[in-house]
Structure 1
Amino acid sequence: MSERTNKKPMITCDSFLAADGVKIAWREIGQGRPLLLIHGFMSDADTNWIRYGHAAALANAGYRVIMPDLRAHGLSGKPHNPAHYPRNVLADDQFALLAHLGVEDYDLGGYSLGGRTVSRMLTRGAAPGRAVISGMGLEGLTNTAHRSLHFRQVFDNLGHHEKGSAARMAEAFLKTTGGDPEALRHILETITDTSVAQIAEWTLPVAVVCGEQDNDNGSVADLAALLRRGKLVLVPGNHMSAVIKPELGQAFVEALTGELW
């Protein structure tokens, strides 16, 4: 790990083609130990990690921060053909990105859907040094159908959600990020449960970082307690507002640089 600095590192952007020909874009910032950082549903790398300074904080802590835009998100391809959305494809895209970059020794983190993608990668053989699962509780990993139903209802009733409702807030976020509802709806078909037994098998250090008012994806305390080497870190905010606060990035820094352990 390189020495921390206060310099503002440069962000680069590139892309490659996944096995099925879909373009996967990613951004990078910083130099040092590779960190694959995965954003949440309907978001993108810029919104989740760059805009509010989290990526810069991690880069200044000595990381080469690699931030993909998931398929159907951001600058990546947004095909409408269901054939491009098999189960576990998001995890498979990340394995392909690591292989494309020649990265074998790395750390791993994700927020919300990104945290769920981290869980699928760990279950499917990923071996990072440390991991962070953020904005995600136990039920959000083991019973994904509940959350997927919420978003299907959001997409099915665009323009008709009650003011102030969770669905209306989700629709507003969709508009903010310029999301493609048809492509994003296909993403819901890719999501796969990770069982309690599978989570209990993980042997690496895993930090569970979550907003103290975030109950969107079940109990974060139960997830942390299930992990063999788990640490729970609560930061200010709920599922949406925690992302805009500097404490989130600082929690990632502490978890990944070993300050929690």
Structure 2
Amino acid sequence: MDTAVFTSFDGAEIAYHTWEPRVAAEGVPPVMLQHGFAASTESNWVGPGVVDALLESGRRVVGVDARGHGRSQKSGDPAFFGERNMSRDHQALFDRLELAEVDLVGYSMGAIVSLLTASRDRRVRRLVVGGVGGAVVELGGVDTGALDGGGELVSALRTDDPTNLTGPAAEFRRFAEANGADLPSLAAQAAAVHDTPIELDAITAPTVLIAGTEDYLARNPERLVEALPHATLFTLAGDHLGVVREKAFASTITSFLDVG
């Protein structure tokens, strides 16, 4: 793995990681991976085996650490964040790497970022999104209704005493701490979460949506599939944090992206 940092459209320092396969497949573009909230390239894609599966299939892989996450620049300012800014980071990285085409994969927050990117950049050849559902159509982003409108999550990330936290907000706080995430940055992103319509009908890339049957943030995935012009649904048993560790998660991604 090689790691580099580039300066994005607004001066933010964004880290990205690249891997080269031992035997490269011909005629296919790189795969770019965008992790979810409070995660990183390492926890979302390397640990669960997705990067290794893609490399075995002969793909060059690029993993982006979203602003405020992993090795990218941190901030406590909500104006620094938002999935739309993260999508502009994608486009800036496409330019930096001189990509004429790219296959894009995003999970949870990263799925919203990737949908935004695919809706306005024709360089996205194929698209995989996971951990989201009908709320993308209804709310323009992740299912904040499952997180008490998002305010509970912001408070959970800002509190100095998390011992009394319960529910999904407590789960995300524990997940963030386990990953060594920057809590002020996460709170700022949670306060800036995307909540306006995405031009889903502008997405021309063939798309697959992966949703866990017990994922409270991916409820009604059929609604999202119906709103996308060229999408199919693949469901896996599991919850929001567990689905990415299922073997079928990586194999679904690789088999879909291997189609010419």
Q: Between Structure 1 and Structure 2, how many residues are aligned?
A: 248
The answer on 1:243 being equivalent to 2:244 is yes
Give, in whole Å, the separation in 1 of the partners of 2:220 and 2:242: 18
Structure 1 residues 51 and 110: CA distance shift in structure 2, 3 A:
same
Question: Contact 2:158–2:187 at 8 Å: present in 1 too?
Answer: no
SS in 1 for 2:31: strand
Deviation at 1:231, TM superposition (A): 0.8
Q: Which residues of structure 1 form unaligned runs of 5+?
A: 1-10
Match of 1:57 in 2: 53
Question: Contact 2:137–2:227 at 8 Å: present in 1 too?
Answer: no
SS in 1 for 2:153: helix
Q: TM-score, normalised by structure 2?
A: 0.86
SS in 1 for 2:125: coil
Give, in whole Å, the separation in 2 of the partners of 1:104 and 1:18: 19
The answer on 1:47 being equivalent to 2:37 is no
Q: TM-score, normalised by structure 1?
A: 0.86
SS in 1 for 2:70: coil
Question: What is the identity percentage for the equivalent residue pairs of Structure 1 and Structure 2?
Answer: 24
**Equivalent residue in structure 1 for 2:20, among 18, 26, 30:** 30
Give, in whole Å, the separation in 1 of the partners of 2:56 and 2:187: 36
The answer on 1:16 being equivalent to 2:18 is no
Q: RMSD of the TM alignment (CA)?
A: 2.3
Question: Contact 2:82–2:194 at 8 Å: present in 1 too?
Answer: no
Match of 1:257 in 2: 258
Deviation at 1:95, TM superposition (A): 0.8
Give, in whole Å, the separation in 2 of the partners of 1:182 and 1:15: 21
Question: Contact 2:156–2:162 at 8 Å: present in 1 too?
Answer: no
Alpha-carbon displacement from aligned partner over 1:137-162 (angstroms, at most 9, x marks no partner): 12045414545334223224453454
More deviation, 163-172/126-135? 163-172
SS in 2 for 1:63: coil
Alpha-carbon displacement from aligned partner over 1:69-119 (angstroms, at most 9, x marks no partner): 001000111023445336711101111111111112111110000001011
Deviation at 1:35, TM superposition (A): 1.0
SS in 1 for 2:60: strand
